[in-house]
Amino acid sequence: VPPTCDWRKARIISPIRNQKNCSCCWAMAAADNIEAQWGIRYNQSVKVSVQELLDCGRCGDGCKGGWVWDAFITVLNNSGLASEKDYPYQSNVDPQRCRVKRNKVAWIQDFIMLQDNEQIIAQYLASHGPITVTINMKPLKQYRKGVFEATPATCDPWLVDHSVLLVGFGSSKSVKGMRAGTASSKPYWILKNSWGAKWGEKGYFRLHRGSNTCGIAKYPLTARVELPDQRHPVHCPP
Amino acid sequence: GFLGAQDPGPRPLELKEVFALFQIQYNRSYSSPAEHARRLDIFAHNLAQAQRLQEEDLGTAEFGVTPFSDLTDEEFSQVYKQPKVPGEVPRMVRKVRSLKQGKP
């Protein structure tokens, strides 16, 4: 595992999305994941339709929540996704609007769930690209910037309720440690949220790495856009 | 005396001033004075919650005014929280093999 990794520097991460009045973080995280994986594999920037995931999902009203694997199953069942431009986001759901279009801009081979181990997650992230995770969003409503570190008592790792894209990791000097005269390194994850670019660190946030803060290791999931035996080696920008 | 003449420095902003700045920054207006007062109460509650998070945090995070500072926890959860508990987490990977690589 390299000391740092930031896929934003590879220009494969799409702009920050905004859910507005729709609880569809699961669909946005899945779309972000497919776009990043597609960018890495084909060196091609695509923007896929979140609205298609919502209208054509198998679980009914996607604006009332869902799970990332539901989104991937929809992509498999529909043989891919249309573009955001052809099938734009409307922040509401109408199953009758589902149009499984012929013109697909991206598709996936399958999807996998990684082990709930932060070291393995970091290794996969560095060598395969961004993945989705589902966390307890307790601190995010009031979050502005910096690395949030919690204990299971302050952010329950079992109560995960928000899906986002994991795009990198690194380490920073702990300010609190420095104040106490014992400077220590704080490893962190970099995560892409879907609440607009005015929230957090330009739409991103950071959580402590190595303590399963807010349950980050509970459901690490990613789509695969190519067959494992035909995979090209990739390297995350430091 | 001399000390009394010293500039005490900028005074901390009052809650109403912070709320006014929030309204400007995030382009918020409310339908009536009563609604404005209700949102101010919610704003104060959220700032207190941010302070608690600040005290709990073991890292370097900063908490405070955000685009959601005038929403109650219930309003925020309704829009942003996934209410569903997964009935069944997929244990089996579904594989779709294409006949020709690069085609859906």
Q: Could you report the per-residue pLDDT of A17-42, keeping only the tens digit for each?
A: 999 999 999 999 999 999 999 999 99
Query: What's the rounded Cα separation, in Å, for the pair A161 and A61?
Result: 17
What count of Cα atoms within 13 Å lies in the side-chain half-sphere of residue A42?
A: 18
A162 is catalytic: yes
- CA-based nearest residue in chain B for residue A188: B59
What's the complex ipTM? 0.90
Per residue in B42-77, pLDDT (tens digit) is 999 999 999 999 999 999 999 999 999 999 999 999
Q: How confident is the model at residue A60 (pLDDT cuts 50, 70, 90)?
A: confident
Is the predicted pLDDT of residue A203 greater than 80, yes or no?
yes
Asked whether the predicted pLDDT for residue B88 surpasses 80, the reply is no
The two three-digit tokens of residue A225, written as one number: 């856009």
Q: For B21-35, what is each residue's pLDDT tens digit?
A: 999 999 999 999 999
Spell out the residues 6+ positions from residue A196 whose beta carbon is closer than 8 angstroms to its own: A16, A17, A18, A203, B67
Residues of chain B contacting A, Cβ within 8 Å: 26, 46, 49-50, 53, 56-69, 71, 73, 76, 78-84, 86, 89-90, 93-98, 101, 104
Q: Does the pLDDT at position A237 exceed 50?
A: yes
Contact A29, A69 (CB under 8 A): no
Q: Does the annotation mark A236 as catalytic?
A: no
Yes or no, beta carbons of B58 and A208 under 8 Å apart:
yes
Name which of A78-82, A134-138, A204-208, A224-228 the model is least confident about. A224-228
Chain B residues lying within 8 Å of A143, measured CB to CB? 61-63, 66
Find the catalytic residue in A25, A63, A155, A236.
A25
Residue B81: band (very low, low, confident or very high) from pLDDT cuts 50, 70, 90: confident
pLDDT band at B87 (very low <50, low <70, confident <90, very high): low
Looking at the predicted structure, is the pLDDT value of residue A184 above 80? no
Cβ-based neighbours of A160, under 8 Å, separated by 6 or more: A134, A135, A136, A214, A215, A218, A219
Q: Can you name the residues that pair with A38 across neighbouring β-strands?
A: none
The answer to whether residue A154 scores a pLDDT higher than 80 is yes
Contact B70, B29 (CB under 8 A): no
pLDDT higher than 60, residue A215: yes
Amino acid at position A119, single letter: Q
pLDDT band at A173 (very low <50, low <70, confident <90, very high): confident
What is the DSSP secondary structure assignment for residue A112, as one 8-state letter?
A: E
In a mutational test of the B interface, the residue from A75, A140, A141 whose CB has the highest number of chain B CBs within 10 Å is A141
- Mean pLDDT confidence for A54-77: 92
The pLDDT assigned to B102 comes to 52
Task: Please confirm, yes or no, whether A208 is among the known catalytic residues.
Answer: no
- % pLDDT > 70, chain B: 70
The reported pLDDT for the residue numbered A97 is: 84
Q: Exposure of A206 by Cβ count < 10 A (0-12 exposed, 13-18 middle, 19+ buried)?
A: buried
Chain A: nearest CA to B10, how far in angstroms?
Answer: 23
Distance from the B104 Cα atom to the nearest Cα atom in chain A, whole angstroms:
6
Q: What is the mean pLDDT of chain A?
A: 92
What confidence tier does A181 reach under pLDDT thresholds 50, 70, 90? low
Q: Do A198 and B67 touch (CB under 8 A)?
A: yes
pLDDT at B1 over 50: no
Of chain A, the percentage scoring pLDDT greater than 70 comes to 95
**Mean pLDDT along residues A201-215:** 98
Least confident of A11-25, A73-87, A91-105, B25-39: A91-105
Q: Looking at beta carbons, which residues of chain A come within 8 Å of B43?
A: none
> Which of B26, B70, B82 should we substitute to test contact with A (largest number of A Cβ atoms within 10 Å)?
B82
Residues of B in Cβ contact (< 8 Å) with A175: 60
In this predicted structure, the answer to whether residue B94 has a pLDDT above a threshold of 80 is: no
pLDDT for the residue B104: 46
Q: How many residues does chain B have?
A: 104
**Looking at the partner chain, which of B57, B81, B89 has a beta carbon nearest the beta carbon of A148?**
B57
Name the active-site residue from A128, A193, A208, A236: A193
pLDDT band for position A58 (cuts 50, 70, 90): confident
